[in-house]
Amino acid sequence: MSRRYLTIWFCHLTTDQLAIRKPELKGKPFVLAAAERGRMVVKACSAVATAKGIEPGMVVADTRAILPDVEVLEDNPLRAEKLLRALAEWCLRYTPVVAIDLPDGLILDISGCAHLWGGEALYLEEIQTRLQSAGYKVRAAVADTVGASWAISRFGQINPIILPGAHTDAILQLPPAALRLESGVLARLRKLGLYCIANFINMPRTALRRRFGTDLLTRLDQALGTAPEQIDPVQPVVPFQERLPCLEPIRTATGIEIALRRLLESLCQRLFREGKGLRKSLFRGYRIDGQVQQIEIGTNQPVRNIEHLFKLFQLKISTIRPALGIELFLLEAPVVEDLSVQQESLWAATNQEHTAIAGLLDRIAGRYGAATIHRYLPDEHHWPERSIREASCLQEKSAIAWPDDQPRPVCLLPIPERIQVTSPIPDYPPMLFIYKGQIHKIRKADGPERIEREWWIEQGLVRDYYRVEDEQGARYWVFRSGRYDDDKSEWFIHGFFA
């Protein structure tokens, strides 16, 4: 597929932004200046100032001579980049790949995006009107290469949209400056009377390299599309992304659901073609007021089932605040995993059970968080608190069997609670114990089962566990922490047997 690029040139980027922020500056000549070698040098000038003949690079004193009432403001060197980055993020609604082009431009990779707005002409017009109504004077152009679209946006006179394949002809009549060259090279070209690209494009490459350096050739090749040019997107490109612009802003939950379903259909189709299933997905809504609303889901295994994903999102749709309306929906899958067709059919035949249960768990995790779901496997520790570990997934099997040689209670207190006991004979279970103010007289007892503390993990006292039954028939798991003759020995209740 041939690529299409759109370049936006902000003719007065920083000054336009200042005028937007301070409306009293609008329509007035003002310049932004910064100290350079002990002089104040103009860095940017407003549209009115430019019309009067003021240019960046002039000394402020000279501008005062041209225009006595010019207003001089402090320039912030980082402002342009910060502003461009914000504008680039705003432009993400038009295409996922937006790069900033310092000092005053943006490059958009619009391959496969323009048809969503009804063609390149409408697409370009939409972007231009939106930016212009915000207060920026912009020029934009569309072409097959970044270089050509850059040239047309800065110097093009006729048509901003260069049809596929026509970019070579389009740049022929432009000045060499349209090739993004250094000023030294430009001066040399002008000196030799090469005023437009057509003058030197057919010259032997060796001659051009000798006289003007390799930079000219690279820039020329980039503009013609024979050399590759990488752009650096402001946001990493998510390979699985679908977008849906809306003609009218969407404000209702039903509308959002329809949009979500359409996006899911196209995303799942793509996932199916490429043999993938998603593990994590984001659904974003760009509101007219510039805010972005988003909801996120995760799944326990790769999924590309529309119904299932829709259900997961549906639980969260109510958290989207459409305010005045959402104009663009975006669905992306930042985390995908292989899910082959065979695997899917295999699942359906033998492991359908797991798929259905995983679906249920996804819904629970979507509503209450994945931290609420636990599954346990035996661990090779005797210490009761460490005798189980959490399973990482639904299918994980343990290498060791559940131990059943020693009695274990069905209910275990998270922290053992201290009890008062009467225990007459060393190493014998107590006669009675008091737990929560109630006296339990022990009628039967089993034990002790000594569990040593795992010294390689922590230091402490040993535990002697007894299984005891009180006169009501209730069975408890109590232990003495430390040896009987030890002063520090204490009794605890740790669990309840059935």
Residues within the interface to other proteins (CB under 8 A): 352-354, 356-357, 359-361, 363-364, 367-368, 372-378, 384, 387-388, 391, 394, 397-398, 402-404, 407-414, 425, 427-431, 442-448, 467-469, 471-476, 495-498
Q: Which is nearer to other proteins, 66 or 411 (CB)?
A: 411
Cβ 397 to other proteins, closest distance in Å?
A: 8
Cβ 364 to other proteins, closest distance in Å?
A: 6
Contact in structure between 145 and 224 (CB atoms under 8 Å): yes
DSSP state of 178: G
Q: Which is nearer to other proteins, 167 or 480 (CB)?
A: 480
Q: Residue 408 and residue 49: Cα distance in Å, rounded?
A: 86
Cβ 165 to other proteins, closest distance in Å?
A: 57
Cβ 280 to other proteins, closest distance in Å?
A: 21
Q: Residue 250 and residue 255: Cα distance in Å, rounded?
A: 6
Q: Which is nearer to other proteins, 82 or 441 (CB)?
A: 441
Contact in structure between 81 and 74 (CB atoms under 8 Å): no
Q: Which is nearer to other proteins, 298 or 325 (CB)?
A: 298
Cβ 497 to other proteins, closest distance in Å?
A: 6
Q: Which is nearer to other proteins, 195 or 484 (CB)?
A: 484
Cβ 492 to other proteins, closest distance in Å?
A: 15
Q: Residue 488 and residue 476: Cα distance in Å, rounded?
A: 23
Cβ 373 to other proteins, closest distance in Å?
A: 6
Q: Which is nearer to other proteins, 290 or 473 (CB)?
A: 473
Q: Which is nearer to other proteins, 377 or 451 (CB)?
A: 377
Pairing between strand 71-74 and 30-36?
parallel
Radius of gyration of the chain (CA): 36
Q: Which is nearer to other proteins, 94 or 492 (CB)?
A: 492
Paired with 74 in beta bridges are 33
* Tokens describing residue 239: 């390979």
* Cβ-count burial 365-382 (b if 16+ within 10 Å, e if not): bbeeeeeeeeeeeeeeeb
For the packed helices 306-314 and 253-274, what is the interaxial angle rounded to 10 degrees?
140
| Three-class DSSP labels, 405-463 | CCCCCCEEEEEEEECEEECCCCCCCCCEEEECCEEEEEEEEEEEEEECCCCCCCCCCCE
Cβ 150 to other proteins, closest distance in Å?
A: 55
Phi first, then psi, for residue 393 (nearest 5°) are: -145, 175
Contact in structure between 20 and 134 (CB atoms under 8 Å): yes
Q: Which is nearer to other proteins, 364 or 439 (CB)?
A: 364
- Residue 317 CA to chain centroid, in angstroms? 19
* Tokens describing residue 145: 């290469």
Q: Which is nearer to other proteins, 11 or 391 (CB)?
A: 391
Let me know if 232 is exposed, middle or buried by CB neighbors in 10 A (0-12, 13-18, 19+).
exposed
Cβ 368 to other proteins, closest distance in Å?
A: 6
Cβ 474 to other proteins, closest distance in Å?
A: 3
